[in-house]
């Protein structure tokens, strides 16, 4: 783990379609505009990173993360702008790299990207990919993306797209941009990330964060075996902050319940309950919700236990109103993060 002053703190959202104060759904267009406003607030309260996910379904408004991030770049000054995640398997690595190199130029070197296979599969049939190729698509495209990060002519051959022969890609960046891989807990995915020397972003959305320590250890051993001196480890987990624990829980639960049950109906999950939620916000759960002090202590414990370089709070969790999330962002930046740094220093 880096020193307390060097640990970075970010916010993640999938652009969950929200409701207004009266409980009426807002449009996807308004949700996207709200996300850009949330990014601007995250920048103003001193957070280090703001990331948006890619989805292609009605619950989430963001299907083109780089477009949203480009808009955020024009309203922010210092915060890094990235994804959570970009579904590389159903996209073209060359176009992805060109888009984020363009974002890097627009943001004066603040772009980053987190690549993933996709826990949601809607993009595969939408863009003409066969789910039976799920593994090979990501393996080959990640290899090609890694070659592109060198920013020199690429020669590559695979089975999932046309070969490249001494192909150059533009625009060039000033200093490259950070690349992470989103991993849900597969040892094979951890080792693959280490092979390329990319950052490891662990999506911890269930269970005790401490159970992911073996994956962190595996990552560091694998980096060493592949000859990479170091690469950062981060965690992405859901949460919400309000003035008190009870307020945070009461605000978060209805939105999270609606979101979980909508997705769970497709995947065969049992209905989400308040009892399960209260377990999830406790010490053995992966939800970071409560007062600033409660959330800060849980984040500090997770950072210490896993030896993290970065923690990203997924602050959007279902239909929670924009104004409520804005208050959560403000508390995260102004109270939680400074308190976490105090606890880590102590």
18 φ, ψ (degrees, to nearest 5): -105, 180
Q: What is the DSSP string of 31-97?
A: HHHHHHHHHHHHHHTT-SEEEE----STTB--S-HHHHHHHHHTT-SS-EEEES-EEGGGS-HHHHH
Give the position of tokens 């990919």.
129
Which residues, listed in sequence order, are joined to residue 86 by a DSSP beta bridge? Answer: 115
The tens-digit pLDDT sequence of the chain (346 residues) is 577 779 999 999 999 999 998 889 999 999 999 999 999 999 999 999 999 999 999 999 999 999 999 999 999 999 999 999 999 999 999 999 999 999 999 999 999 999 999 778 899 999 999 989 999 999 999 999 999 999 999 999 999 999 999 999 999 999 999 999 999 989 999 999 999 999 999 999 999 999 999 999 999 999 999 999 999 999 999 999 999 999 999 999 999 999 999 888 888 999 999 999 999 999 999 999 999 999 999 999 999 999 999 999 999 999 999 999 999 999 999 999 999 999 999 8
Q: What pLDDT, on a 0 to 100 scale, did the predictor assign at position 3?
A: 76
Please give the radius of gyration of the chain, using alpha carbons only, rounded to the nearest integer.
Answer: 19
Q: Are 255 and 317 in contact (CB under 8 A)?
A: yes
Q: Which residues contact 11 (CB under 8 A, 6 or more apart)?
A: 38, 42, 47, 49, 50, 51, 312, 313, 314, 315, 329, 332
Q: What pLDDT, on a 0 to 100 scale, did the predictor assign at position 1?
A: 56
Sequence ranges of the domains in the chain? 8-345
Give the position of tokens 């239909």.
319
Q: What pLDDT, on a 0 to 100 scale, did the predictor assign at position 277?
A: 97
pTM of the complete model: 0.97
Q: Into which CATH architecture does domain 8-345 fall?
A: Alpha-Beta Barrel (3.20)
Q: Are 12 and 236 in contact (CB under 8 A)?
A: yes
């Amino acid at each position: 783990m880096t020193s307390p002053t060097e640990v970075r703190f970010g916010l993640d959202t999938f652009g969950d379609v929200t409701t207004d104060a009266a409980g009426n759904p807002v449009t996807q267009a308004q949700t996207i505009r709200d996300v850009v406003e949330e990014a601007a607030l995250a920048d103003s309260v001193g957070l280090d990173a703001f990331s948006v996910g890619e989805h292609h379904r009605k619950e989430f408004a963001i299907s083109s993360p780089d477009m949203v991030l480009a808009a955020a770049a024009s309203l922010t000054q210092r915060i890094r702008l990235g994804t959570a995640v970009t579904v590389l398997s159903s996209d073209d690595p060359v176009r992805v790299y060109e888009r984020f190199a363009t974002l890097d130029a627009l943001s004066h070197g603040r772009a980053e990207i987190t690549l993933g296979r996709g826990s949601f599969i809607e993009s595969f049939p939408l863009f003409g990919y066969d789910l039976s190729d799920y593994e090979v698509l990501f393996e080959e495209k990640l290899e090609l993306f890694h070659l592109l990060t060198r920013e020199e002519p690429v020669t590559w051959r695979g089975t999932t797209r046309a070969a490249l022969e001494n192909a150059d890609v533009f625009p060039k960046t000033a200093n490259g941009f950070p690349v992470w891989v989103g991993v849900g807990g597969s040892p094979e995915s951890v080792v693959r990330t280490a092979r390329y020397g990319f950052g490891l972003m662990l999506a911890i959305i269930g269970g005790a964060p401490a159970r992911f320590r073996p994956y962190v250890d595996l990552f560091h051993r694998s980096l060493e075996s592949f000859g990479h001196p170091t690469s950062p480890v981060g965690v992405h987990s859901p949460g919400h902050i309000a003035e008190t624990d009870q307020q945070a829980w009461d605000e978060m639960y209805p939105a999270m319940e609606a979101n979980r049950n909508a997705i769970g109906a497709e995947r065969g999950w049992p209905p989400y309950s308040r009892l399960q939620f209260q377990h999830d916000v406790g010490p053995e759960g992966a939800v970071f919700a409560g007062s600033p002090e409660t959330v800060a202590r849980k984040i500090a414990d997770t950072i210490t236990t896993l030896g993290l370089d970065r923690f990203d709070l997924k602050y959007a969790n279902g239909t929670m109103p924009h104004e409520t999330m804005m208050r959560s962002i403000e508390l995260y930046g102004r109270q939680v993060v400074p308190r976490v740094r105090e606890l880590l220093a102590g």
